[in-house]
A and B are shown apart, each in its own frame.
Chain A
Amino acid sequence: MIALFKRELLIALRGGGGALTGVIFFLCVITIVPFGIGPDLKLLSQIGPAVLWIGALLATLLGLDRLFQQDKEDGSLDILVCQEHALTWLIFVKCIAHWIVSTLPLVIATPLFGLMLNVSPMGILASMVTLFVGTPAITFIGAVGASVTVTLPRGGVLIAILVLPLVIPVLIFGVLSIDGAINEPQPFTAPFLILCAFTLFTSVLGPLAASVMLRHSAD
């Protein structure tokens, strides 16, 4: 399994672009917002955390089709699903590796983009923490979407349609926790813990559902 994890990271590093595409897309979303709503710094700092979350969510959705598609195309998936490793576990590892290469850069880029949106230091810290904790859930749910569309040649858009409604709770609790961190009367711990719980819950549900799908997706 460690071998699989290393392979996934290595491919992403060599293949290049993958991680960067996400960050650039993230940047695009962040840049478009001030154009859309005007350069009012006060307003921007108010909605900044939410914009960061939406940008990160969309950027994460963008890369999900790569989760199984490439392995399917070059025949690796056939061999991977046949081995003695539990398929659920294998998918879990792939999800984690995918998250590290495509979503972790977004989390790391958050402070910079937060500054561009005039988010307070506390808000930036809270955004980073909630994104770090919450975005894995998007990848785990995305694994289900990626597995059901793996037989389709162009599944990308369909994955987004399928996954987007299911990740709305992640967005809600992520933004809620940031809100709690910045604005005093609002609670931070409760929504944050629910966010953590959601990630843990999907880390089981997502790979499990995806493994049911992938076991006989071989056509």
Chain B
Amino acid sequence: MKLVAETISVNRGIKRVVQDLSFEVEQSEALIVTGENGAGKSTLLRAIAGLLPLDSGSVDLQGGKEELLLREQCHYLGHQNGLKTALSVKENLEFWQNFSGEPDFAIQETLEIVGLAHTLDLPVGYLSTGMKRRIAIAKLLITRKQVWIVDEPTAGLDGASSKMFIDICSAFCDDGGILIAATHLPLDLKKTKSLHVEMLDTYADDAFDSGLDT
């Protein structure tokens, strides 16, 4: 199984963010996306996760489940956690477990992994930013997906929690997962690749860009 992106281009408005980018991520491998702020890391990740349309090119998961699209086999963790503050941690996790994919770890177990077992029945609204982020990370574990796409996963986490996240990632990769992460954290995994996203100074082929000479 491998994730293959072929000459993908992504636009944001008329600005070209990613131009003819190709990469491959093998099973058990992690792709670390780096780049300065505003270079388009998040846009690239959202495009891979199927949340933004590709302007050209294609992203495929070769050897994945035939009947599912790539976006359906991904866990996407963006800047927001996707948690409801009104519901308890348990209810939040239960929902995502029932809603998408096949269940993997039990909820209690995942909470122990992220070190928040005691928060099971607390409303998410009571938790601190870092704790919410850890719950969002626990969300990656409760259902089994082949690909994780995580965007600044350790934002708001302290050193110990970041370490914990690295452990989770390395366990996931050892288990045959594909990880794509935008992070500045040194992810100490066995097989990593890095991809540097450059800030582009080009524009999309916008229909309204032409004809200034007439």
Contacts and interface: CB of A to CB of B under 8 A. Distances in A.
* A–B in direct contact per CB < 8 Å: yes
A78 B78 contact: yes
A165 interface: no
Interface string A56-97: 000000000000000001111011111111000000000000
A78 B83 contact: no
B137 to A, nearest CB: 14
Nearest to A4: B99
A76 B96 CA distance: 10
Interface string A4-39: 101100110011000000000000000000000000
Nearest to B49: A82
Contacts of A14: 86-87, 123
Interface of B: 46, 49-53, 68-69, 71-72, 74, 76, 78-87, 91, 94-96, 98-101, 123
Contacts of A81: 51
A43 interface: no
A132 to B, nearest CB: 27
A168 interface: no
A216 B83 contact: no
Contacts of B50: 82
B76 A216 contact: no
Contact of A78 (B51, B86, B94, B123): B51
Contact of A7 (B46, B49, B95, B123): B95
B124 to A, nearest CB: 10
B72 to A, nearest CB: 4
Contact of B76 (A1, A6, A11, A82): A82
Nearest to A2: B98
22 contacts: A1-B99, A7-B91, A10-B91, A14-B86, A15-B86, A74-B80, A74-B83, A75-B78, A75-B80, A76-B83, A78-B49, A78-B51, A78-B82, A81-B51, A82-B49, A82-B72, A82-B74, A83-B72, A84-B69, A84-B72, A85-B99, A85-B100
A76 B100 contact: no
Contacts of B78: 75, 78
Given A14-B87, A83-B72, A218 B52 contact: yes
Contacts of A4: 95, 99
A3 B100 CA distance: 10
Q: Name the interface size band of chain A.
A: 20 to 34
B74 A216 contact: no
Contacts of B99: 1, 3-4, 80, 83, 85
Contacts of A73: 80
Contacts of B53: 216
**Main DSSP-derived SS at the A contact region:** helix
B24 to A, nearest CB: 22
A216 B91 contact: no
A82 B91 CA distance: 20
B95 A82 contact: no
Nearest to B71: A82
A10 B98 CA distance: 15
Nearest to B86: A14
Contacts of B91: 7, 10
Contact of B84 (A1, A6, A76, A218): A76
B182 to A, nearest CB: 15
B87 A7 contact: yes
A84 B100 contact: yes
Contacts of A79: 76, 82, 96, 100
A216 B49 CA distance: 12
B74 to A, nearest CB: 7
A81 B99 CA distance: 12
Q: Which of A11, A75, A79: most chain B CB closer than 10 A?
A: A79
Contact of A75 (B68, B79, B85, B101): B79
B46 A218 contact: yes
A7 B78 CA distance: 21
A14 B92 CA distance: 13
